[in-house]
């Protein structure tokens, strides 16, 4: 007959939900217990599709978002998110405007202590992940911030990263990958992080060249050799940071006097002598349009949005990349409006995702200041402080040790014990036409009945929802 297990599960879940039969949920749970992935499976039907799209496109549903998306339709919602033109509300604008890193000139930022700048970077990222209506843009900011990871506590990075955040990551988050790559290559934050600022003819520093190919573009199996690393490093000699008297300090500068102007060969392509700054630019162009780069980016995006990346999907996405010359919106459309999105397995939330989704789920008001950030640190994801160029890991195993810290955060949030963060229960209950228990179930568990006890205080109920195994996945 060919009734697959997936179909069986879908049907059972649908019946269970429709009829509200508590008995069915145990059966489902038993079946799901065998899954090595997650305690939940995507629900069928319209609401299942809506929740899935919200979970993957955003940092998680707010109490009212499912109804909003239901009303406008999934496709409209995805296009709205791709356009990223929704206005921020005044509270968010105000909160961001209070942050020095976005209103002081980067040269003047030097007057602020490193720790303060790093805190503000974290605060801004959290505020926007939680409150910015352009959620997909924020998810892509998270994605690219890790793809082009910069450790904000290396040397002067704290003072350089805010510009990188605005001018490189945010500017191109939903733009063109080649432009993002070009901007990153000339970003003082990146030049310093991967030591290209000290890459000089004769003693070429391979650090940037290696990570550029291994992490930013081709991927470790992308077909380059150690020889290519050395040649690329030579091409980037002299790409440095302005530090001369009466010059705009801290900006990009090409220092011709330390550039290796001999001939080079990169991935089989000859780079003639005398090219100057165009050597590096030519390398970036070769890399940006290389099929291995298309595949590498496709694979990472599929992992990020779909969890598992099956080869056919990666192939589709990398075709879109090549056809559109790396247009990020087109690539994302291929991923987000695919059938694969609906069928893909659950993905574990990294601590940053978890914190943002929890604050959204209970419609908390938060300054996302040190108190919230401390919780995030306890879970092991101090954003902007991942020292290695590969960015925070995405696999579930890396984060399986963070549960106790997640439970503690869930409880402090639900019982209103986080300074600077406020949960208004009365208001929360008015946000949705459904009763609180149903709203929270929809948000945290799909439509599955049971699991969370309801004979507890409302605060405890919320704490348990956010602590549940189900809420750790999207």
Partner 1 sequence: MNWCDEYAMISRRALFGTVSCAVLGTKALSQIVLNKKGTEHTLVVVFLRGGMDGLSAVAPFGEDAYYQSRPTLALRKNDLHNLDGFFGLHPALSKLIPSFAEGRVAIVHAAGSQDSSHSHFEAMNAMERGVATAEESTGNGWLARYLNATRTDHDSALRAVAFSPVMPDSLRGGTNCVAIESLSEYRLRNEQMKPHLAAMYANGSDLMTRSGRESLRVLQMLERSRMDAYRPENGAVYPDSDFAQALKQVAFLVKSDFGLEIACLERGGWDTHVAQGTTSGWLASQLSDLGDSLAAFDRDIARIRRRVTVVVMTEFGRRAYENSGLGTDHGSASLMFVIGEGLHGGKVHGEWPGLSEEKLSGPGDLKVTTDYRAVLRTILQVRMRSQAAAAKVFPTAPPLSFQLFNGRSTNP
Site residues (vs partner 1, CB under 8 A): 29-30, 32-39, 151, 153-155, 193-195, 198, 203, 205-207, 210, 348, 378, 380, 382, 385, 387-390, 392-393, 396-405, 407-408, 411-412, 415, 451-453, 456, 460, 463-464, 467-469, 472-473
Compute the radius of gyration of the chain from its Cα atoms: 24
Q: Which is closer to partner 1, CB of 64 or CB of 449?
A: 449
Q: Which is closer to partner 1, CB of 11 or CB of 400?
A: 400
Q: Which is closer to partner 1, CB of 88 or CB of 371?
A: 371
Please report how close the Cβ of residue 21 comes to partner 1 at its closest, in angstroms.
19
Concatenating the DSSP letter of every residue in 84-105 gives: T-PPPPHHHHHHHHT-HHHHS-
Contact between 469 and 452 under an 8 Å Cβ cutoff? The reply is: no
Contact between 230 and 204 under an 8 Å Cβ cutoff? The reply is: yes
Three-state DSSP state, 395: coil
What is the spatial distance between Cα 25 and Cα 3, in angstroms, rounded to a whole number? 20
- Helix H or strand E segment including 51: helix 45-57
Record the tokens describing residue 177, joined without a space: 């990958």
Please report how close the Cβ of residue 18 comes to partner 1 at its closest, in angstroms.
24
What is the spatial distance between Cα 299 and Cα 291, in angstroms, rounded to a whole number? 12
Contacts of 179 (CB under 8 A, 6+ apart): 172
Q: Which is closer to partner 1, CB of 175 or CB of 380?
A: 380
Please report how close the Cβ of residue 39 comes to partner 1 at its closest, in angstroms.
5
What is the spatial distance between Cα 385 and Cα 381, in angstroms, rounded to a whole number? 8
Contact between 99 and 166 under an 8 Å Cβ cutoff? The reply is: no
Q: Which is closer to partner 1, CB of 91 or CB of 456?
A: 456
CA of residue 195 relative to chain centroid, distance? 25
The residue written with tokens 């300074």 in the block is 419
Please report how close the Cβ of residue 308 comes to partner 1 at its closest, in angstroms.
14
Please report how close the Cβ of residue 289 comes to partner 1 at its closest, in angstroms.
26
* 392 to 62, 141, 382, 473: CA distances (angstroms): 25, 13, 9, 17
Q: Which is closer to partner 1, CB of 102 or CB of 407?
A: 407
Please report how close the Cβ of residue 362 comes to partner 1 at its closest, in angstroms.
16
Q: Which is closer to partner 1, CB of 56 or CB of 128?
A: 56
Please report how close the Cβ of residue 178 comes to partner 1 at its closest, in angstroms.
26
Q: Which is closer to partner 1, CB of 87 or CB of 202?
A: 202
Please report how close the Cβ of residue 206 comes to partner 1 at its closest, in angstroms.
8
Which of 10, 7, 2 shows the shortest CA–CA distance to 448? Answer: 10
What is the spatial distance between Cα 210 and Cα 319, in angstroms, rounded to a whole number? 25
**Cβ neighbour number for residue 348 with a 10 Å cutoff:** 20
- Give start and end residues of each alpha helix (H) in 362-435: 370-378, 396-399, 403-414, 425-431
Please report how close the Cβ of residue 420 comes to partner 1 at its closest, in angstroms.
17
Q: Which is closer to partner 1, CB of 39 or CB of 66?
A: 39
């Amino acid at each position: 007959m060919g009734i697959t297990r997936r179909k069986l599960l879908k049907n059972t879940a649908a019946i269970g939900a429709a009829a509200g039969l508590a008995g069915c949920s145990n059966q489902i749970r038993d079946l799901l217990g065998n899954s090595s992935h997650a305690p939940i499976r995507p629900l069928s039907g319209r609401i299942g599709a809506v929740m899935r799209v919200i979970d993957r496109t955003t940092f998680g549903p707010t109490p009212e978002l499912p109804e909003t998306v239901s009303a406008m339709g999934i496709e409209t919602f995805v296009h709205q998110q791709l356009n990223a033109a929704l206005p921020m509300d005044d509270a968010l604008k105000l909160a961001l405007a209070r942050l020095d890193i976005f209103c002081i000139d980067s040269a003047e930022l030097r007057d602020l202590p490193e720790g303060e700048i790093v805190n503000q970077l974290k605060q801004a990222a959290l505020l926007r992940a939680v409150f910015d209506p352009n959620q997909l843009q924020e998810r892509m900011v998270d994605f690219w911030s890790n793809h082009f990871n910069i450790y904000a506590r290396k040397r002067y990075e704290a003072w350089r990263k805010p510009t990188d955040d605005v001018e490189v990551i945010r500017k191109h988050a939903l733009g063109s990958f080649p432009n993002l790559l070009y901007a990153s290559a000339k970003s003082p934050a990146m030049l310093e992080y991967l030591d290209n600022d000290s890459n000089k003819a004769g003693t070429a520093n391979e650090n940037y060249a290696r990570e550029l190919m291994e992490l930013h573009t081709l991927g470790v199996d992308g077909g380059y050799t150690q020889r290519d690393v050395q040649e690329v490093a030579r091409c980037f000699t002299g790409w440095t940071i302005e530090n001369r008297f009466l010059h705009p300090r801290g900006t990009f500068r090409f220092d011709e006097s330390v550039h290796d102007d001999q001939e080079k060969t990169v991935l089989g392509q000859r780079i003639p002598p005398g090219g100057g700054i165009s050597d590096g630019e030519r390398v970036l162009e070769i890399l940006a349009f290389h099929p291995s780069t298309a595949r590498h980016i496709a694979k990472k995006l599929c992992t990020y949005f779909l969890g598992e990346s099956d080869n056919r999907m990666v192939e589709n996405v990398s075709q879109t990349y090549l056809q559109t010359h790396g247009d990020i919106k087109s690539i994302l459309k291929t991923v987000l409006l695919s059938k694969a999105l609906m069928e893909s397995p659950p993905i574990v939330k990294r601590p940053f995702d978890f914190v943002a989704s929890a604050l959204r789920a209970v419609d908390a008001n938060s300054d996302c200041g040190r108190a919230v950030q401390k919780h995030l640190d306890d879970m092991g994801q101090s954003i902007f402080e991942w020292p290695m160029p590969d960015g925070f890991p995405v696999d579930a195993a890396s984060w399986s040790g963070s549960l106790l810290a997640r439970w503690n955060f869930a409880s402090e949030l639900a019982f209103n014990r986080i300074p600077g963060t406020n949960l208004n229960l009365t208001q929360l209950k008015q946000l949705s036409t459904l009763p609180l228990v149903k709203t929270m179930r929809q948000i945290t568990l799909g439509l599955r009945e049971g699991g969370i006890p309801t004979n507890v205080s409302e605060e405890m109920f919320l704490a348990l929802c956010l602590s549940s195994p189900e809420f750790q996945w999207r």
